[in-house]
Amino acid sequence: MTVQRQSKQPVSPALAGPYGHPFHPILVTVPIGAWVGSLVFDVASHLVDDPTFLSRGSLWLIAIGVLGAVAAALVGALDLLAIPAGTRAFGVALVHMTLNLLVTAAYVAGFLWRNAGEGPSGSVPAGQLALSAASLAVLGVSGYLGGMLAYRYGVRVADEGTQADGFADRRG
């Protein structure tokens, strides 16, 4: 088996998803959606008369995102194990993982910061909003690297032989 073919095979199909159907890409939608939603709530908390419900909603979206990130990271670690060490794809995957861990840690810190004292009330303070915006920007860089792993290097993507089946002409 070539090193490229090795990176397409799951370490554990039951945990990481079967060949051609990895679980990591679908799981990352939870933290991404929750954290984007929390930033929208943060900004909106500065635009309404009674912002506390948005500040509290943002807090819980951050928590949902952290839980989703943990699930995505566990499955992503299994995908990382399928990539041969010493390859360019492995290096990109390590940077991708490191950035995601930093972003998750920043959101955990943000959750604790927002929940300090009596919890959120009023508009989200500028520092907390800035932390969320910066974390989301870093997540965007990491997402770019994740896309590079899948679409450029083909990690956990079906190989061209398998893909060719979808392009066979059925008319003749």
pLDDT, residue 45, reads: 96
Please list, in sequence order, all residues whose beta carbon lies within 8 angstroms of the beta carbon of residue 130, skipping any fewer than 6 positions away.
none
H/E element holding 46?
none
Q: What is the mean pLDDT of each run of 10 residues along the chain (172 residues)?
A: 72 70 92 98 96 96 98 95 94 98 98 89 94 98 96 86 82 75
The whole-angstrom separation of Cα 109 and Cα 130 is 13
pTM of the model: 0.89
d(CA 106, CA 129): 12
- DSSP state at residue 16: H
CA 148 to centroid of chain Cα atoms? 14
Sequence ranges of the domains in the chain: 24-157
CA distances (Å), 118 to each of 34, 40, 44, 112, 124, in order? 23, 22, 21, 11, 14
The predicted structure's pLDDT at residue 172: 67
